[in-house]
Amino acid sequence: MFLKRLDVVGFKSFAERIMVDFVPGVTAVVGPNGSGKSNITDAIRWVLGEQSAKSLRGAKMEDIIFSGSDSRKSLNFAEVTLTLDNEDQRLPIDYNEVSVTRRVYRSGESEFLINKQSCRLKDIIDLFMDSGLGREAFSIISQGRVEEILNSKAEERRTIFEEAAGVLKYKTRKKKAEGK
């Protein structure tokens, strides 16, 4: 499984539709301070189901919608699509290419899609759970996260290792079955 493409429109500083094609190997994003490098990883975490506005460096979810600049007026929605190669079937879905889309409007209304089919946020979270790429996974380590992991309580740290080891899915299912 690897990232193939990221399509973004209206998310944070990206008023224009942008498309990032990831080539095999390492991709480095470079640019001056404030040019939107971290906004790219924020977009990836958001489309994977991030629910915390704070962790996306905002106060409320609306803050991720392009808020306007000197030359452009604000937009009414943000949309991110992440396309992944799934030839190794690491994602438990019968497609060799998987795209996930998330859209949010200023009204607060939001939409989620897997391969252009409408779905629930939970479906996206379930799809990526234990893939190593979930919103809680440490495949994305943002500024300050290393300290956070080191300073976390033993129980919280255990969750991180459980996701890495691929057992979180079963624990979540067990909890649900027990009605917790």
The annotated binding site for ATP is made up of 32-39
List 38, 55, 99, 172, residue binding ligand ATP (CB under 6 A): 38
Residue whose CB is less far from Mg ion, 31 or 108:
31
CB 14 within 8 A of CB 6: no
Determine, following the binding rule CB under 6 A, whether residue 20 of this chain makes contact with ligand ATP: no
**Residue 73 has what DSSP assignment?**
-
Q: Which of 33, 107, 117, 151 binds ligand ATP (CB under 6 A)?
A: 33
Give the shortest CB-43-to-ligand ATP separation in angstroms: 10
Query: Tokens standing for 80?
Result: 């991110």
- Among 73, 69, 79, 78, smallest CA distance to 106 is for 78
Contact between 13 and ligand ATP by CB under 6 A: the answer reads: yes
In degrees and rounded to multiples of 5, residue 107 shows phi and psi of -65, -15
CB of 10 to ligand ATP, least distance (A): 9
* Residue 12 near ligand ATP by CB under 6 A: yes
| CA dist 85 → 4, 21, 42, 100 (Å) | 6, 12, 20, 12
